[in-house]
Amino acid sequence: MNKILKYGLIGTGAVVGIAVAGIAYVAVTFNPNDYKGKIIQAVKDSKQRNLRLDGDIKLSFFPSIGANLSRVSLSEFKSEKEFAAIDSARVSLALWPLLSKQVVVDEVAVSGLKATLVKHKDGTTNIDDLLGSQTEKPAKPVQTGSPGQTVKFDIASITIEKTNLGYLDEGSGAHYAIKDLNLKSGRIANGVPSKIALSLRVQANQPRLDINTQLKTTLTFDLDKQRYQLQGLDLQADGAVLDISDLKLKVGGDASANLGTQEFTAEKFTLNASGVKVKDHFDVALDAPALSLASDKYSSDKITLNAKLDGAPGNIAATLVLPNIQGNAQSFKIGALTLDLDVKQAEQTFNVKLSTPVSGNIKAQQINLSDLTLAVHATGDKLPGKSISSELKGNIQADMAKQNIQVNLAGGLLQSQIKARAAVNNFAVPEIRYDLEIDQFDADLYLPKKTADAKSKDKSKTAEPEQPFDLSALKTLNLEGSLRIGSLKAANIKVAQLRVDVKAHNGLVNIAPLTAKLYQGSIDGRASLNAGTSGFTINTKLDGVNIAPMMKDAADLELAEGRGNITLDLTTQGNTVGALKKALNGSASLNLADGAIKGINLSKLVQGVQSLGKSTTVQTMGVDKTEKTEFSELKASFKVRNGVAHNDDLAVKCTVLRVTGNGDIDIGHDSLNYNAKATFAKTAQGKTVTLPVNVSGAFDDLKFKVDYAALLADVARQQLDEKKEELKAKVKEDTKAKAQEELKKGLKGLFN
């Protein structure tokens, strides 16, 4: 046995000696630089590219097999333009491990690598020729060793420095670049912890990106078992992304992943990010002490996310806490998730607290917030009572696979009590169903208030062009629901028992019914909208409405008093309020009782008409809020065409007069031109006369033109008629008297 071992060792030594001698001979006698020309020509012939080998080629054979290149470049296909270049590259393999089918790389070092990949407009790239034809059959893998035996590799170190890589898409104009890439590692092998240090700069124009990144960590992996572990992770980045500038990012902790078993763990994981989005500064911090995700089990300690935003909306601070996660992909639970949100603005502060347990099924893409509580508290000098508090409770279920979300909420919101149910189906083209009930709501408490100065400034200010409204979102809206409000105040208009039902589909929006109690009367109507044509229709009837407070609240107008009925049957089309007013068509009617026309007293105008002089013609006067013409009945119907409402049948009944008239209300230009005739049953002289009155001007600056000349002409005509009758009577009387006298004379002579 000893002899066998002895001779075996001697034989092995002899073989090794011969091999070493052979390698030494090749190393001494072989010079690869002698073949530069042939190598360059071979590349030229086979790839039609120009290869430059300006530096020396150095080979080593013992104790490592390696190569060292410097100053190498390669041109573009059929071009002198440079495609890639490298300052230097070194690769060496340990000799002895190769004999046992193991690849041990002593060193990989690359410096000054530059290359740009280009995708042309026709879809080809500038490396298609290097990759070969897509129709070529792939080469069969080289079998090494006995069946089932694998080649193991072991790299002592990797060094990459001063590397710049680029990508250009000529079709889209997108340009991406990796600059100043530097990588240094320790030994890289299965199960061996290796220190990694990486730095680089990434730039892009689509999307906008300019980031400097530094990474330090210890990497351990097992390729056979697909296990990877990062210890002492220290990732830092700064720069700009999209519209975020001054970005600073820092990530730390330990992480591991087993791709074979789909397990992921993180310990002491932290993330901090800050930056400026447009003009808003933000800070985000995530802390996850322990997190484990596996196919059959999820678990975590408390996870905390803090975020701050300082900008136009105010100072916002939010804290999200997940106390723990338990379960697996089929069923998981999170304890009482909490969200605390603080908003500080110049005139008010808000605090929002949300808490709910969370459960779900990740594989089925289901999530359930079963006991949700949402509390809101706000303070501010302009808030109702300088403070508001509310709390909503309910639940939310989401089935993302079936594209369904259901929401049920009830409780206090602002100063209202609400009950809300909503469902959303089909996220691509959402189908929305809702039912909302509110006891009372005063919207004006939360809207900006106009001061008297602001109103006066608006009245003299040159009107700015209207901005068109966009109805395109309604073209895909699929919605059906009902809104009920016990009492509502909005834009100073007050209504009660409001109900609005809405159906929207394929760009058609129908509102029916639209009912409410308002101003001692009621409204019953319907409306529709066609988003494709920007067309609107409204059919509404107001019964028993007191119009004086309604006009005062709605438009601060004091034009009339009375209660009665108003009907509207109108259509219009346009994408601005002005255009809609000018395109109004249809009909309207008004029937009021026991009211008054405010701003003028027609009866008073003709009192003492006998004192009017001959020079009196037409008198123009403004609205006098202390005067009014009372009536027992007022009726009028209107035909509306292109924003102008025309009336021919005004009929007003008063105690001492009757009013008729005709004219136009120009809704499109907020103006009026109307001619009325007031007929007085009895004047101071006991006469019946007619006074023409013209009302014209802008709604907020109406003028009354009273035609006294016509009234005087009417009086004069009546006086003339009376004189004629008196003369006729006198002539008749005189004729009769003369005849009687003649008769007497005749009789006297007869009897003589």
Residue by residue, DSSP assigns 379-401 as EETTSGGGEEEEEEEEEEEEETT
What local confidence, expressed as pLDDT, does residue 285 receive? 96
**Whole-angstrom Cα distance, residue 435 to residue 422?**
6
3 state SS of 719:
helix
**Whole-angstrom Cα distance, residue 590 to residue 593?**
10
Which residues make beta-bridge pairs with 172?
none
DSSP code at position 451: P
**Per-residue pLDDT tens digits for 468-527:** 888 888 888 899 999 999 999 887 889 999 999 999 998 999 999 999 999 999 999 999
In 10 A of CB 689, how many CB atoms? 22
In 521-601 the beta strands, taken as DSSP E runs, fall at: 521-530, 535-546, 560-573, 585-598
Which band of pLDDT confidence, cut at 50, 70 and 90, is reported for residue 460? confident
Q: Compute the C-alpha angle 600/604/605, nearest 5°.
A: 75
Query: Distance from CA of residue 564 to its chain's centroid?
Result: 43
In 10 A of CB 652, how many CB atoms? 23
> Is the pLDDT reported for residue 319 higher than 80?
yes
**Whole-angstrom Cα distance, residue 57 to residue 70?**
7
What local confidence, expressed as pLDDT, does residue 380 receive? 85
**Whole-angstrom Cα distance, residue 368 to residue 350?**
27
User: Residues 598, 549: contact at Cβ < 8 Å?
Assistant: no
Phi, psi at 583, each rounded to 5°: -105, 15
**Per-residue pLDDT tens digits for 628-663:** 888 889 999 999 999 999 999 999 888 777 889 999
Which sequence spans correspond to the domains of the chain? 1-30, 36-129+151-201, 599-752
> Is the pLDDT reported for residue 747 higher than 80?
no
Mean pLDDT throughout 245-263? 92
The most confident of the ranges 27-31, 311-315, 589-593, 702-706 is 589-593
Mean pLDDT throughout 165-193? 92
Beta strand pairing call for 689-698 and 671-680: antiparallel
What local confidence, expressed as pLDDT, does residue 614 receive? 46
Which band of pLDDT confidence, cut at 50, 70 and 90, is reported for residue 574? very high
> Is the pLDDT reported for residue 533 higher than 70?
yes
What local confidence, expressed as pLDDT, does residue 359 receive? 92
Give the dihedral of Cα atoms 18, 21, 22, 23; nearest 10 deg: 120
What local confidence, expressed as pLDDT, does residue 133 receive? 53
**Residues of the chain with pLDDT > 70: what percent?**
80
**Per-residue pLDDT tens digits for 49-72:** 898 888 888 877 666 777 888 898
What local confidence, expressed as pLDDT, does residue 677 receive? 86
User: Residues 108, 91: contact at Cβ < 8 Å?
Assistant: yes
> Is the pLDDT reported for residue 11 higher than 50?
no
Which band of pLDDT confidence, cut at 50, 70 and 90, is reported for residue 548? confident
**Residues of the chain with pLDDT > 90: what percent?**
42
Higher pLDDT: 462 or 518? It is 518
Q: Indicate if the alpha-carbon torsion angle 555, 560, 562, 568 is positive or negative.
A: negative
Quote the tokens at residue 166: 């680029």
Give the total residue count for the chain. 752
In 10 A of CB 10, how many CB atoms? 10
Higher pLDDT: 296 or 463? It is 296
**Per-residue pLDDT tens digits for 325-347:** 888 878 888 888 999 999 998 88
The H-assigned helical ranges of 418-546 are 452-460
**Per-residue pLDDT tens digits for 699-746:** 878 887 877 776 666 666 665 655 665 566 665 665 656 655 654 554
Which band of pLDDT confidence, cut at 50, 70 and 90, is reported for residue 10? very low
Phi, psi at 569, each rounded to 5°: -135, 90
**Whole-angstrom Cα distance, residue 34 to residue 27?**
14
Per-residue CA distances from 627 to 177, 216, 290, 560 (Å)? 80, 87, 81, 11
Quote the tokens at residue 512: 């029916």
> Is the pLDDT reported for residue 76 higher than 80?
yes
User: Residues 239, 253: contact at Cβ < 8 Å?
Assistant: no
Burial of 659 (0-12, 13-18, 19+ CB in 10 A): buried
Mean pLDDT throughout 374-384? 85
Which band of pLDDT confidence, cut at 50, 70 and 90, is reported for residue 454? very low
Q: Which of 306, 276, 305 is nearest to 288 (CA)?
A: 305
User: Residues 646, 674: contact at Cβ < 8 Å?
Assistant: no
What local confidence, expressed as pLDDT, does residue 5 receive? 37
Which band of pLDDT confidence, cut at 50, 70 and 90, is reported for residue 287? very high
One-character DSSP codes across 324-385: -EEE-SS-EEEEEEEEEEEEE-SSEEEEEEEEEEEEEETTTTEEEEEEEEEEEEEEETTSGG
What local confidence, expressed as pLDDT, does residue 491 receive? 79
Q: Which of 270, 326, 337, 328 is nearest to 301 (CA)?
A: 326
Asked if the bond preceding 193 is cis, omega within 30° of 0, the reply is no
Q: Phi-psi region for residue 37, left (φ > 0), alpha (ψ -120 to 50) or beta?
A: alpha
Which band of pLDDT confidence, cut at 50, 70 and 90, is reported for residue 237? very high
Which band of pLDDT confidence, cut at 50, 70 and 90, is reported for residue 179? very high
What local confidence, expressed as pLDDT, does residue 604 receive? 72
What local confidence, expressed as pLDDT, does residue 750 receive? 43
| Lowest mean per-residue pLDDT among 204-208, 276-280, 292-296 | 292-296
Asked if the bond preceding 549 is cis, omega within 30° of 0, the reply is no
Mean pLDDT throughout 550-567? 83
> Is the pLDDT reported for residue 7 higher than 80?
no
Which band of pLDDT confidence, cut at 50, 70 and 90, is reported for residue 16? very low
The most confident of the ranges 225-234, 327-336, 595-604 is 225-234
Q: If you search the block for the tokens 């939360």, which residue do you land on?
A: 446
| Lowest mean per-residue pLDDT among 93-97, 354-358, 535-539 | 93-97
3 state SS of 126:
coil
User: Residues 145, 152: contact at Cβ < 8 Å?
Assistant: no
Quote the tokens at residue 522: 């009621």
Which band of pLDDT confidence, cut at 50, 70 and 90, is reported for residue 22? very low
3 state SS of 611:
helix
**Whole-angstrom Cα distance, residue 385 to residue 563?**
35
